[in-house]
């Protein structure tokens, strides 16, 4: 494949992901849901396992602990999460969803499902399967690079 077309594919994919994230944010804003870009993955991680340490969350989300701290501070202000010291080790801060956070997750899930329907409008089932196969292949290639570093 020609180098420029590879760059064009990566650029297009990057633009699609940025547009998807922005559109999700706009749709949530329109509903009055105070969930900002970057926060849905954190909410989903907590819905899978509430009370994780900040260190665990940063590792799972592949972000720096300082970045996570900024996110959590903002999310505490909007009432989505609360931080509490670990009962056995006061140096460890654990993060918990609030009731408002659980409601926000539900709204995010429903909005994402709706956005997915619109994103793949007029795609055949076969086209969606092919796209999924290509994306998983790309994901595996990138994981191999990551693991070798």
Secondary structure of residue 85 in the 3-state scheme: strand
Parallel, antiparallel or unpaired: strands 81-85 and 52-53: unpaired
Cα 120 to Cα 30, 55, 107, 124, 131, distances in angstroms: 22, 36, 20, 9, 11
Confidence of residue 3 (pLDDT cuts 50, 70, 90): low
Average pLDDT of the chain to the nearest whole number: 93
φ, ψ (nearest 5 deg) of residue 87 = -70, -25
Number of structural domains the chain divides into: 1
107: domain CATH number is 1.10.10.10
pTM: 0.80
Give the tens place of pLDDT for each residue, 48-104. Answer: 999 999 999 999 999 999 999 999 999 999 999 999 999 999 999 999 999 999 999
Q: Which domain holds residue 44?
A: 3-148
Secondary structure of residue 11 in the 3-state scheme: helix
Give the tens place of pLDDT for each residue, 119-144. Answer: 999 999 999 999 999 999 999 999 99
């Amino acid at each position: 494949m020609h180098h420029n077309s590879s760059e064009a594919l990566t650029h297009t994919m990057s633009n699609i992901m940025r547009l998807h994230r922005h559109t999700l944010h706009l749709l949530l804003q329109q509903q009055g849901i105070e969930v900002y870009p970057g926060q849905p993955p954190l909410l989903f991680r907590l819905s899978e396992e509430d009370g994780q340490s900040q260190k665990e969350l940063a590792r799972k989300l592949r972000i720096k602990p300082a970045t996570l701290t900024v996110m959590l501070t903002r999310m505490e202000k909007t009432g989505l999460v609360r931080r509490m010291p670990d009962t056995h080790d006061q140096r460890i801060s654990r993060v918990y969803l609030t009731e408002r956070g659980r409601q926000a997750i539900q709204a995010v899930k429903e909005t994402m499902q709706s956005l997915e329907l619109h994103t793949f409008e007029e795609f055949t089932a076969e086209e969606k399967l092919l796209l999924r196969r290509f994306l998983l292949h790309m994901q595996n290639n990138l994981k191999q690079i990551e693991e070798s570093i």
